[in-house]
Copies of this chain bind each other. A is one copy, B any other.
């Protein structure tokens, strides 16, 4: 509520925007924290006070997705049932994220700059950890199952996103929900009914 909080939010956003601007203009490798700081008009040190790393400045993490997944409840008690629910949460979150303008920018950069994809992927480690430990905490699953579930959910998210990014890069205006559904359908095809 305080003016302090607003300031912080604006700063976080400004830094990310500046970072994305610069990467679009001159590529990831040749964009330094010093430049980002200069563009925002603050010192380099200050940028590091808002984002712990260059990675996070570019891709602030999947906190929205993490919250949605961790906060979700499942009526099911079998691994497959829980997976279904988690994927449904992902699906919804996915179409929600696509609304964010920066999400689209990052998506395009993921294809333009291969290193950008690695940045995004690095950030996803915390998603797996948060989700798997949340699942263990719920009590319905064992450690191995939870980890596997978290990995599968994250992989689905990543593949759907990359698929979306490719379309976005190609100028194809695809529906995120359809895209996510297609990904999940292909995933299920890997495990036939027999």
Contact = CB atoms under 8 A, between A and B. Distances in A.
Number of copies: 2
Interface string A19-62: 00000000000000000000000000000000000000000000
B190 A193 contact: no
- Where chain A touches its partner, the secondary structure class is helix
Interface stretch (A8-16, A96-104, A105-113, A158-166): A158-166
Interface residues of A, number: 33
Central interface residue in A121, A122, A155, by most chain B CB within 10 Å = A155
Interface string A117-135: 0100110010000000000
Given A80-B190, A152-B152, A190-B79, A147 B125 contact: no
Nearest to A192: B80
A189 B189 CA distance: 14
Contacts of A152: 152, 155, 187, 190
A147 B122 contact: no
6 contacts: A79-B190, A118-B125, A144-B163, A148-B190, A151-B158, A151-B159
